[in-house]
Amino acid sequence: MCAKTGSGFLLLIIPLLNSCLNSVFFQPDKKSYQVPKGNYETVNFRSHGETLHAWFIPAKNKAKGTVIQFHGNAQNMSAHYSFVDWLPEQGYNLFVFDYRGYGQSTGKPSRIGLYHDSIAALNYLKSRKDIDSKNIFVIAQSLGAAFAINAIGRNDFDGIRGIVLDSPFYSFTSIVRSKLGLFLKLITFPVFPLFVTPGLSSASAIKEIKTPILFIHGTQDRVIPIRQAIALYAQANNPKQFISVKNGSHCSALGRFKSTYGSEILKFFDAQD
Give me the CATH number covering residue 107.
Answer: 3.40.50.1820
In sequence order, which residues have a C-beta less than 8 Å from that of residue 265 and are 6 or more positions away?
139, 164, 214, 216, 254
Residue 215 domain-assigned (yes or no): yes
Q: How many domains does the chain have?
A: 1
pLDDT at 174: 76
Q: How many helices (H) and strands (E) does the chain have?
A: 10, 10
Q: At what angle do helices 172-179 and 226-235 cross, to 10 degrees?
A: 160
Model confidence over 232-258: pLDDT tens digits? Answer: 999 999 999 999 999 999 999 999 999
Residue 31 domain-assigned (yes or no): no
Euclidean distance between CA atoms 177 and 209, whole angstroms: 26
Residue 163 domain-assigned (yes or no): yes
In sequence order, which residues have a C-beta less than 8 Å from that of residue 61 and are 6 or more positions away?
91
Range of the domain at 155: 38-181+197-270
Q: How many CA atoms lie within 13 A of 23 on its CB side?
A: 6
Residue 25 domain-assigned (yes or no): no
Residue 68 domain-assigned (yes or no): yes
pTM of the model: 0.89
Residue 143 domain-assigned (yes or no): yes
**Rg over CA atoms, the chain:** 19
Residue 51 domain-assigned (yes or no): yes
pLDDT at 229: 98
What SS3 state is found at 273? coil
What SS3 state is found at 270? helix
> In tens digits, what is the pLDDT along the chain, a chain of 273 residues?
344 444 444 444 445 555 556 667 899 999 999 999 999 999 999 999 999 999 999 999 999 999 999 999 999 999 999 999 999 999 999 999 999 999 999 999 999 999 999 999 999 999 999 999 999 999 999 999 999 999 999 999 999 999 999 999 998 877 777 666 544 555 555 555 444 555 689 999 999 999 999 999 999 999 999 999 999 999 999 999 999 999 999 999 999 999 999 999 999 999 997
Residue 2 domain-assigned (yes or no): no
